[in-house]
A and B are shown apart, each in its own frame.
Chain A
């Protein structure tokens, strides 16, 4: 904003979010969308066009869409639009391997909470992120002191890139799938209540690892 870039934001979440207040406090116009019982990614992709339109009407130079990022199969990125994944050093050393498209397909991976773990753990965590997504720029950012935040900001805004419409654009990867009786409100347990896209755990394969 100090560089005269007009910024707006939208926060997608599931049940509740206070993140919109954080944007507001920083003087950034913000909208929030709560998906309720729906997968927030599906909710995101069905609404992002309208959000972009809002952004265009407001005359923003930069529009940030922050997703809920609830499950490790989240995939909220659109092709050719800058994608950032934020994960923290405390999430566990195997977490990079557990996260799907949200990490694998990101352009920039921001790693936070590096101020409270050891240098060794930071290095190992970054190396693991790198082996999952070798093409991304990996940045360590301290959310408390802001160290690294300025540097990240220089990578966000591209003067020459404009997005007028999302129509026909594609997601980088398909969203988590679902359409079964439980999606539609079924609560009873039992084979006879399961309809649609249902999958069974393969117990006999479990003992040998995969």
Chain B
């Protein structure tokens, strides 16, 4: 790792050559710090006038410390791409009344879906918070989380760019004023991935496959319909999110192919958790956990009977979808159509 002394002897040009990702760091500094400057940092810092520093909210000492930290974190961030999360394990804690949870170890594997059922306020948020914070017996439930069968490092809590859980919920909206392509470019750049264009076109293609109605790459994201937005969010989260775990809070039934949506997430080797009361979604999962009174009350493997039932439910669902499509295109429905 570069020492502060070494960094001070390098010029912005030399720094950018060695650490190209510093561009975004330099762009946040409000005093004169141009990328084409060939003078070493310590002479630039010496030349900054007090008034200029004051105006730009610039403090030389913390600047160097943050520069060093940024490089350090970026190096570990870029080096961690190979570090896969294949498996997440929850060790039991207690429910709200202090009763121990009745399971030995709850395992979530990559490419597997777990549904979460239980009334509102039963403790779903708490469970998710435990996972996000990689609880180590230090949250109100007393649960512990293992990553790849091991006690995780504190990085999962504190390192930026290393978050365990990505979330998709029904209340989410796009708020930025950008086109679909610009938006995905921005996300890709923040992740600093190599094959940006390839990933972006893959995401748009996948999203269009999920959404009932297709959208163009130039469409403003805020103009997308509910189904199209959801489709884009799912495809983007599957292919561009840094997080190995995806938590879905219900997927509405309209305007999106839910089965395909789950397949995309599973195909990208995500660990999928899905809070739902929709029988079709719940039974698509490999297992489901029942939450009651703040604790996990039961872990149920989806039974062969349930899988059989699922096929029938999907048939019924398909019929409903067909009727919806017919209605949309202005047709009159027949009694026989059911």
Contact = CB atoms under 8 A, between A and B. Distances in A.
Partners in one complex: yes
A49 interface: no
B236 interface: yes
Contacts of A104: 57, 62, 66
Interface in A149-187: 150-151, 154, 173-174, 177
A116 B28 contact: no
B38 interface: no
Given A127-B160, A151-B133, A151-B139, A120 B125 contact: no
A137 interface: yes
A115 B172 contact: yes
A17 interface: no
Q: Chain B interface secondary structure, helix, strand, loop or mixed?
A: helix
B24 to A, nearest CB: 5
Contacts of B28: 96-97, 131-132
B224 to A, nearest CB: 11
Given A97-B27, A150-B140, A173-B57, A120 B171 contact: no
Contacts of B69: 134-135
Interface in A120-146: 120-124, 126-135, 137-138, 140, 142, 145-146
Contacts of B175: 89-90, 116-117, 121
Given A119-B166, A151-B133, A134 B66 contact: yes
A127 B125 contact: no
A83 interface: no
B233 A119 contact: yes
Nearest to B69: A134
Contacts of A118: 172-174, 229, 233, 236
Contacts of A97: 27-28
B71 to A, nearest CB: 9
Contacts of B240: 120
Interface string B176-195: 10000001101100110000
Given A73-B57, A124-B187, A124-B190, A119 B62 contact: no
Which residue among A75, A115, A123, A137 has the maximum number of chain B CB atoms within 10 Å of its CB?
Answer: A123
Contacts of A145: 125
Contacts of A101: 57
Contact of B168 (A119, A134, A142): A119
Contact of B160 (A119, A130, A150): A130
A134 B233 contact: no
Contacts of A130: 73, 160-161
Interface of B: 24-25, 27-28, 30, 54, 57, 59, 62, 65-66, 69-70, 73, 125, 128-129, 132-133, 138-140, 157-158, 160-161, 163, 166-169, 171-176, 183-184, 186-187, 190-191, 229, 233, 236-237, 240-242
23 contacts: A75-B57, A97-B27, A105-B62, A115-B171, A116-B175, A117-B172, A119-B172, A119-B241, A120-B184, A124-B186, A124-B190, A127-B191, A128-B190, A129-B160, A131-B28, A132-B28, A133-B66, A142-B125, A146-B125, A148-B132, A151-B157, A154-B138, A177-B54
The 5 closest A-B pairs by CB, nearest first: A100-B57, A134-B70, A127-B190, A130-B160, A120-B187
Interface of A: 73, 75, 89-90, 93, 96-97, 100-101, 104-105, 114-124, 126-135, 137-138, 140, 142, 145-148, 150-151, 154, 173-174, 177
